[in-house]
């Protein structure tokens, strides 16, 4: 088979692995687990314990952030770490023009402060475009700031993959990871096929989970 010189063998293999994973994942869901339970399968949580910090993963405007507020006010941790959302090209252009503007994270911080979290208790982390990159930030926190236990807040159907990725990243540090779903996530994971947004999220997370299991993605 002719292969263009601009295409590396590794990229071809990776694409084949990705496509194979999607097929295997779909077949496994049908054969090994009732399809109707696919959404609920993605949802896991760890028992709450006191921690050194709460890390709120990016991806929502307020849903995960409000869970971080509640956990802080309930006394589970004295510090909150907030991911900055990915810049779009418009924001990059504003930066080039030297314009002062409100970032999404600025609005989120303002809401969290008005809900009762002191501004000095909130640390803004840099943007991350994947769960693996977010796990890198968690690794930095536990190694550089010596956090022994961290509560990681995300959406319900992201919890299983987030827990796998986070625990693998901090393995060997001695730090503990507690993964929690936002109580403000109202997605119906039990009947995930009834809503278009929940359907898309379930299929996406199922695919990413199988890609993670075969080592094709983080």
Domain spanning 44-185: CATH superfamily? HUPs (3.40.50.620)
Per residue in 114-156, pLDDT (tens digit) is: 999 999 999 999 888 899 999 999 999 999 999 999 999 999 9
| Of the listed ranges 4-13, 60-69, 96-105, the one predicted with least confidence | 4-13
Per residue in 67-94, pLDDT (tens digit) is: 999 999 999 999 999 998 877 888 889 8
Give the separation between CA 122 and CA 114, rounded to whole angstroms: 13
pLDDT recorded at residue 10: 66
- The answer to whether the beta carbons of residues 57 and 83 sit under 8 Å apart is yes
Distances (CA, A) of 149 to 33, 69, 78, 86: 33, 18, 12, 26
Give yes or no for residue 206 having a pLDDT over 70.
Answer: yes
Query: In the structure, how many helices (H) and strands (E) does the chain have?
Result: 8, 5
Per residue in 178-198, pLDDT (tens digit) is: 999 999 999 998 888 889 988
pTM of the complete model: 0.81
pLDDT recorded at residue 2: 39
Would you call 129 helix, strand, or coil by DSSP? coil
Domain boundaries, the chain: 44-185
């Amino acid at each position: 088979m002719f292969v263009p010189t601009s295409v590396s063998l590794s990229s071809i293999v990776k694409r084949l692995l990705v496509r194979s994973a999607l097929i295997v994942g779909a077949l496994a869901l049908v054969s090994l687990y009732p399809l109707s339970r696919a959404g609920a399968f993605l949802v896991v949580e760890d028992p709450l314990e006191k921690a050194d910090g709460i890390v709120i993963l990016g991806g929502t405007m307020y849903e995960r952030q409000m869970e971080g507020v509640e956990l802080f006010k309930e006394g589970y941790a004295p510090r909150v770490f907030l991911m900055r959302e990915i810049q779009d090209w418009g924001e990059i252009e504003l930066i080039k023009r030297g314009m002062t503007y409100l970032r999404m994270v600025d609005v989120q911080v303002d809401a969290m402060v008005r809900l009762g979290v002191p501004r000095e208790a909130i640390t803004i982390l840099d943007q991350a475009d994947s769960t693996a990159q977010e796990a890198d930030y968690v690794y930095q926190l536990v190694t550089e700031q010596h956090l022994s236990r961290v509560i990681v807040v995300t959406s319900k159907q992201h919890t299983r993959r987030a827990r796998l990725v986070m625990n693998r990243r901090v393995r060997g540090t001695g730090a503990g990871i507690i993964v929690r779903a936002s109580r403000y996530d109202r997605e119906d994971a039990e009947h995930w096929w009834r809503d278009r947004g929940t359907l898309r999220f379930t299929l996406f997370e199922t695919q990413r989970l199988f890609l993670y299991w075969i080592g094709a993605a983080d």
